[in-house]
Amino acid sequence: MTIDTSGTEGYAERADALIEQWRTISFADRHAPILRWIPQAPSRIVDIGAGIGTDAAGLAALGHTVLAVEPVDAFRDAARELHPSPRIEWLDDSLPDLAALVARRDSFDVVMLSAVWMHLDAAQRDRAMRRVAALLREGGVSIMSLRHGPVPAGRRMFDVTAEETIGLALAHGLRLVRDLRTSSVQPANRANGVTWTRLVFEKPAEAA
């Protein structure tokens, strides 16, 4: 029997339909509000909860090297087929502990968490933020999105506020540089009142 990683409940069972749905969402449309915080110079980026690889492929096309972290086998398999790129490496791992990722002792210029944070409960969010902060290089940024609105049947989601997330980030040494509310880029979600908070945090360089 397959046991869902905490937070992925309801995804593997609907993988085929979700893959087709997500293929219609472009990287540029989804991330237009925060693209200015993606470095222009080639950088090392980790995309946590990478799904079918749309964001990883978009970042790779900009010249970045991407480690795409995704716990759902069907999504990783689809991503490799949809976005074959020598700039993307795939890793089977999950929040909040990211044990396989942490074991690599790697650090990144950008840590992306798109549409994943709301799957974690309060204790998991605290543990996960500690991991995120530790993964960032000095001067690096973490880009996060928080979902607000009706929860699809069979999914595990929590109502996570921007205020709580900002407070957690500050407690772990990150500085808020952008807080933006946007509507969903998916018409059905937008019609159902789904909105998103986009947060960008920076890891300040330590004082000399």
pLDDT for 96 equals: 95
Q: How many CB atoms lie within 10 A of CB 152?
A: 12
pLDDT for 26 equals: 80
Query: What structural domains and CATH numbers belong to the chain?
Result: 12-202 (3.40.50.150)
pLDDT for 207 equals: 43
**Residues paired with 143 in a beta bridge:** 112, 200
Please calculate the CA angle 67-20-14 and round it to the nearest 5 degrees: 85
pLDDT for 5 equals: 56
Hey, what amino acid is at 181?
Answer: R
pLDDT for 208 equals: 36
- The tens-digit pLDDT sequence of the chain (208 residues) is 233 455 565 566 666 666 676 676 788 888 888 999 999 999 999 999 999 999 999 999 999 999 999 999 999 999 999 999 999 999 999 999 999 999 999 999 999 999 899 999 999 999 999 999 999 999 999 999 999 988 877 778 898 999 999 999 999 999 999 999 987 777 777 777 789 999 999 999 874 3
